[in-house]
Chains A and B, each alone.
Chain A
């Protein structure tokens, strides 16, 4: 207070400590995805700075930062191979903050550290945007603003600074909501995304080998969600159609060129389901649909009646669909496609082919041949297991006649080969089967562990007919899901085993929350924005309209804010009014109160000027001061006594 020169703005101890805690809050979500030693290094640096702050010691010399930064860079190169890219960049930022804190000496450094904090908060979203991360970011945000507040006024208690930050953030929330909804969203990036932006997505691939589907089962990850308008299909009808595989070379099943369907779509007949799918990103070009899709707003139909997109699905995607389970599919199938569906690689699986020939000799009708093949497989006493033994060159022969245990892809492939040997066109369909109904938000949740493969055979007057050889051998697979038909010894994710009731309820709630979050926060894109505008009655929202809506809502918000902050006139209460009456009366006598004068000082001065009333002056001033600055409430009798005092004085002055 008595310094004439501006003091060097050194940061006080509590602020330095607060910044360390703040850094820890901001950095902890980074622990979830970066290598442990990068997190450990960042943690160590923060801890070191905290110890220095605790002992009220200054920052270490700057030359020390060079080796520290080099160690950090080495860690990042060790972890990612190169320091350029999205994840290494984030890790680099993550180390930069503690390093900046270590060299923080004055208020300028703190400001830079706080800006770095903002970058880190948003950087986190590049990796994950779950509700948890959002919550962590909000905490970090509150902490940053509280630190910024205490940087301005170190004497401010931490609790007050947090309150201040919350108040400011709360005032910003209406603008955030309006802008979030109205800010024109763009589809697709402004510039190229880095190559590693979508790495590590799991899901079905567009071809199948033995074991490729059973590999997905241990993953409890959600593949997609479906919410139905009206009735939800029974478990036996929940076949989610993915890539259709016709070409078989002995080991691999592949699609035949998936050109778009040129013919008009078959007319839907019988039952129909309307539903909305929310696909998780899987980095492939196909979409899933319930058997058999008839109308879709996104994607295009392939000739196999599967849905495909032109671009890989790199973001969570939402689309509306219609499916008819009773559709007659492929009544007028092209001859060359039927031909392709009967081809078998030469000199593979001789025993299966022989078995097929035997069936075709004894059974003339195609539909009866299907039944014969199914009953053959049922009689073979095959085992259903997640960990089938490895198979040789003639994989189907080995499965059917030697190992006799396999997963759904073995069953489907074996059945298709058998059918082709009897001369009936057949193909493998991959996708998902089943799904769990979440009663909290009424959606079906389909996980990677629901991945499945089945077969379709072509019969002259019925078209493509679905046959599920796994279900034929193990009906429980469809009724109870994977968990019901597998031996207990097979390892399954927690989400697939359903035997803990309260855990299941908890999981339902959590996943419903996650779904709402995905739909309304993360999945809010140009399309969603359009839908929302349309549901509000705006038929054709363009960016001009959005901009004007945005401007007007921001204006309204600003008005509210100004109204909130505009100084309100404080009306004097009765006690003050009486006192002002007294002061005015004294001013008329030529003795106005000076603004800095306290009531008792004023009374003393008045007493000197007018000694005959000094006692009365003193009692009036003291009465006012006691009740104005005291803790006792100002009640009506108090005011009455004050008025009485004044009246006494005024009558004596008049006489």
Chain B
């Protein structure tokens, strides 16, 4: 008997949690907000209006103001219509999240979100808030088609970043009531370590670290073509003449003339550096190499990537650095 009761309580608790949180854990995309998961409550402004209405009704009764009655009831009716309009503004909204471009710790991680309507209904002033209440996005959608927006979430640490629980809310049209729903999109972005440090790079063959070699890296190289600008590129490599001509931001790429390999080695870093500082230094080097399209070898405890060059290799190295020591 007692067992049955505790079982019932447990199931009720689970049920209510599921009810508030929709689906436990990240949800499959696209997320369509169903009717029963959109909650509505009055805002402070709405409570203020209710108070004013009460005063107006009292005045209408006391002074027998027919128009006072009429307008009190009109505002009340409008308020109720507002509740439904606000609720309607969220129900059936579909959201698909996608990880944006590459992101390094300390910067903002971008997620692209596509807002659409499951039932051809224009929506206004949809806000997306983080769990701590900061507003991430405010968009309108037209009645057909979809709108793109971008959420930027601060990436504090390297590793896998999820936007976590987000609040989708709206107070449109009048701001007297607020409708909201919680979502937890199944999307993640790998945050690379912050690129920091100014130690010289090591030549793979000589294994000695001298400042002069670093300058050689950039001296003896040959123009190999143009590619799209990345946030980590040095301004000196941007093809400014091209940019002035048609506004496109391209970066000059060079092939290293000598077939020297650069060794980005964990074990050769000074012992005083802690794990994060080491990862930062390695990331810094990797970005420099990528800018020069140089051949690099990433030598980590338990793994050795390269020697190789090309985007796929750099990404693999960055991912390795991002996930180092974590779930690995």
Contacts and interface: CB of A to CB of B under 8 A. Distances in A.
B73 A175 contact: yes
Given A126-B63, A189-B62, 19 more contacts: A1-B149, A2-B108, A2-B150, A3-B135, A5-B134, A115-B52, A122-B67, A141-B74, A141-B75, A153-B172, A171-B81, A172-B80, A176-B74, A180-B73, A190-B61, A193-B62, A565-B84, A565-B88, A596-B114
Nearest to A522: B66
Interface stretch (B16-24, B119-127, B206-214, B260-268): B119-127
17 contacts: A111-B45, A122-B65, A122-B68, A125-B71, A126-B59, A148-B173, A148-B174, A152-B174, A152-B175, A172-B73, A172-B74, A176-B70, A180-B69, A180-B70, A189-B63, A190-B62, A565-B85
B119 to A, nearest CB: 5
A197 B62 CA distance: 12
A111 B64 contact: no
Contact of B77 (A129, A174, A629): A174
Nearest to A569: B119
A48 interface: no
Contacts of B72: 122
Interface string B81-96: 1101101100110101
B29 A168 contact: no
Interface-central residue, B67, B135, B176, by most chain A CB under 10 Å: B67
A173 B92 contact: no
Contact of B66 (A189, A190, A197, A524): A524
Contacts of A2: 108, 150, 152
Nearest to B69: A180
Interface stretch (B137-145, B196-204, B220-228, B288-296): B137-145
Interface in B135-188: 135-138, 140, 145, 149-150, 152, 154, 171-176
A22 to B, nearest CB: 14
A653 interface: no
A176 B67 contact: no
A149 B174 contact: yes
A141 B30 CA distance: 40
A2 B94 CA distance: 22
Interface in A124-168: 125-126, 129, 133-134, 137, 141, 145, 148-149, 151-153, 155-156, 164-165, 168
Contacts of A539: none
Nearest to B48: A115
A558 interface: yes
A175 B70 CA distance: 10
Contact of B154 (A4, A125, A152): A4
A141 B80 CA distance: 16
A315 interface: yes
Interface-central residue, B68, B91, B112, by most chain A CB under 10 Å: B68
Interface-central residue, B58, B91, B119, B173, by most chain A CB under 10 Å: B173
Nearest to B79: A172
Nearest to A183: B69
Interface of B: 29-30, 35, 45, 48-49, 52, 55-56, 58-82, 84-85, 87-88, 91-92, 94, 96, 98, 108, 112, 114, 118-121, 124-125, 133-138, 140, 145, 149-150, 152, 154, 171-176
Contacts of A595: 29-30, 94, 96, 114
A223 interface: no
B14 to A, nearest CB: 28
Contact of B67 (A137, A156, A189, A569): A137
A596 B74 CA distance: 43
B312 to A, nearest CB: 17
Nearest to B49: A115
Interface of A: 1-6, 111, 115, 118-119, 121-122, 125-126, 129, 133-134, 137, 141, 145, 148-149, 151-153, 155-156, 164-165, 168-169, 171-176, 179-180, 183, 185-186, 189-191, 193, 197, 315, 521-525, 557-558, 561-562, 564-570, 595-596, 629
A185 B66 CA distance: 10
A129 B134 CA distance: 47
A354 to B, nearest CB: 56
B119 A561 contact: no
B175 to A, nearest CB: 5
Contacts of B75: 118, 141, 172
Nearest to B133: A6
B30 A179 contact: no
Contact of B73 (A119, A165, A179, A558): A179
Contacts of A197: 63
A521 B150 CA distance: 53
B173 A171 contact: no
Contacts of A185: 64
A122 B59 CA distance: 9
Nearest to B149: A1
A165 B175 CA distance: 12
A4 B140 contact: no
Contact of B64 (A118, A156, A315): A315
A441 B125 CA distance: 50
